[in-house]
Amino acid sequence: MEIYSNETLTAINLQLIGVIEFLPDATFVIGVDGKVMAWNRAIEEMTGVSKEDMIGKGDYAYAVPFYGDRRPHPADLLDKSDGDREGEFRHVKRKGNVLFAETYAPCLYGGKGGYIFAAAGPLFDAQGRRTGAVESIRDVTERKEAEEALRRSEGKYRELVENANSIILRRDSTGKVTFFNEFAQRFFGYSEEEILGKNVVGTIVPLVESTTGRDLKRMIEDIGRDPGRYAANVNENMRRNGERVWIAWTNKPVRGENGRIVEVLCVGNDITELKRARDELFNSRQMLQSVLDNIPQRVFWKDRDS
């Protein structure tokens, strides 16, 4: 093992501190005695505490700018699995010698507070002896707020979808159901557990349309490839009890990050009674026309004004 002189070790430590000083992430170093050895520019900006006021301080003094009190930080938990202390942090993970954690720091930015992500790891000398720990901290407030806003948005969207008086489902490009709202469950007679992962063909879509002979299996495959061709579409469907119904669908592609279609969002409304009434009206007109075409005497219509 290579042995370094005290002068060399001092130079290495100075270089290390110089590197830490200009790291973009807020970073501090503590010795084995828990006293602060380095406090870089980024952490000065984050906490409002200068290195002159922090270096040499111990007894968890580095936690005060974050929480308003003295408490262990991830750098203090490297050698121990303290469930109670780790419980103060979120998403605690260990990877080798490095500990990762998230938490909320209420005293940051003059009391505005912020969410932080910390990564802490041990420091060793040339002989492999533990000399302290380094911890880098990143402000993840914007990310956490975006995640929270997304959760709220998704919650409102789900509530809207679940309470809608329309069939709302999502299916993948092959036709397998990935979402089935409560109205769809009541209408078709399938619970979410029964329908998710099943293909729409054979469950809510028959193989062939009864009145036209149209190949609905092929239609479902076509929709998966090009939903735009079927943006507004009417086709025969079927309930769990075998009853045939007619649904007016709107189909919209859901694309992944690469732009490829990963799912199709389908919103449907039952038009069975409307179609039946239209068919009856059409049949009545056809019958009347047939009668008129086959009577031996000429018949013409006259309104009151003619």
* Domain match, 98 and 197 both: no
147 vs 166, which has greater pLDDT? Answer: 166
* Domain match, 74 and 20 both: yes
* Domain-embedded: residue 1: no
**Does the structure show a pLDDT above 50 at 158?**
yes
Q: Which of 114, 146, 178 is the last residue of a domain?
A: 146
* Domain-embedded: residue 34: yes
256 vs 207, which has greater pLDDT? Answer: 207
- At residue 85, the pLDDT reads 54
Report d(CA 177, CA 158) in Å as an integer.
16
* Domain-embedded: residue 174: yes
**Does the structure show a pLDDT above 80 at 296?**
no
264 vs 79, which has greater pLDDT? Answer: 264
Q: How confident is the model at residue 152 (pLDDT cuts 50, 70, 90)?
A: confident
- At residue 1, the pLDDT reads 39
* Domain match, 172 and 240 both: yes
Cβ atoms 118, 101 nearer than 8 A: yes
* Domain match, 12 and 126 both: yes
* Domain-embedded: residue 56: yes
12 vs 235, which has greater pLDDT? Answer: 235
Report, as an integer, the average pLDDT of 291-306: 59
Cβ atoms 57, 33 nearer than 8 A: no
**Does the structure show a pLDDT above 70 at 51?**
yes
* Domain match, 179 and 205 both: yes
pLDDT digits over 18-50, tens only? 678 888 899 999 998 999 989 999 999 999 999
Amino acid at 89: F
* Domain-embedded: residue 298: no
Report d(CA 38, CA 54) in Å as an integer.
9
> By residue range, what is the domain housing residue 119?
6-146
* Domain-embedded: residue 281: no
* Domain match, 225 and 267 both: yes
Report, as an integer, the average pLDDT of 188-203: 97
**Does the structure show a pLDDT above 80 at 294?**
no
Check which CATH number belongs to the domain holding 81 and give it: 3.30.450.20
**Does the structure show a pLDDT above 80 at 284?**
no
163 vs 1, which has greater pLDDT? Answer: 163
pLDDT digits over 216-263, tens only? 999 999 999 999 999 999 999 999 999 999 999 999 999 987 889 999
**Does the structure show a pLDDT above 70 at 211?**
yes
* Domain match, 57 and 121 both: yes
Report d(CA 124, CA 141) in Å as an integer.
32
* Domain match, 53 and 131 both: yes
* Domain match, 137 and 168 both: no
* Domain-embedded: residue 219: yes
3-class SS string, the chain? CCCCCHHHHHHHHHHHHHHHHCCCCEEEEEECCCCEEEECHHHHHHHCCCHHHHCCCCCCHHHHHHHCCCCCCHHHCCCCCCHHHHCCCEEEEEECCEEEEEEEECCHHHHCCEEEEEEEEEEECCCCCEEEEEEEEEECHHHHHHHHHHHHHHHHHHHHHHHCCCEEEEEECCCEEEEECHHHHHHHCCCHHHHCCCECECCCECCECCCCCCEHHHHHHHHHHCHHHHCEEEEEEECCCCCEEEEEEEEEEEECCCCCEEEEEEEEEECHHHHHHHHHHHHHHHHHHHHHHHCCCCCCCCCCCC
pLDDT digits over 265-279, tens only? 999 999 999 888 776
* Domain match, 103 and 179 both: no
Count structural domains, the chain: 2
Q: How confident is the model at residue 5 (pLDDT cuts 50, 70, 90)?
A: very low
Closest CA to 244 of 196, 195, 199, 205: 205
Q: Which of 89, 114, 146 is the last residue of a domain?
A: 146
pLDDT digits over 84-122, tens only? 555 678 788 888 889 999 999 999 988 889 999 999 999
* Domain-embedded: residue 76: yes
Report d(CA 246, CA 39) in Å as an integer.
70
Lowest-confidence pick of 8-17, 162-171, 254-263 = 8-17
Report d(CA 26, CA 10) in Å as an integer.
23
Mean pLDDT of the chain: 85
- At residue 93, the pLDDT reads 87
* Domain match, 21 and 139 both: yes
Q: Which of 119, 146, 173 is the last residue of a domain?
A: 146
Report d(CA 142, CA 138) in Å as an integer.
11
Q: How confident is the model at residue 292 (pLDDT cuts 50, 70, 90)?
A: low
- At residue 295, the pLDDT reads 67
* Domain match, 204 and 136 both: no
Lowest-confidence pick of 16-30, 56-70, 199-213, 251-265 = 16-30
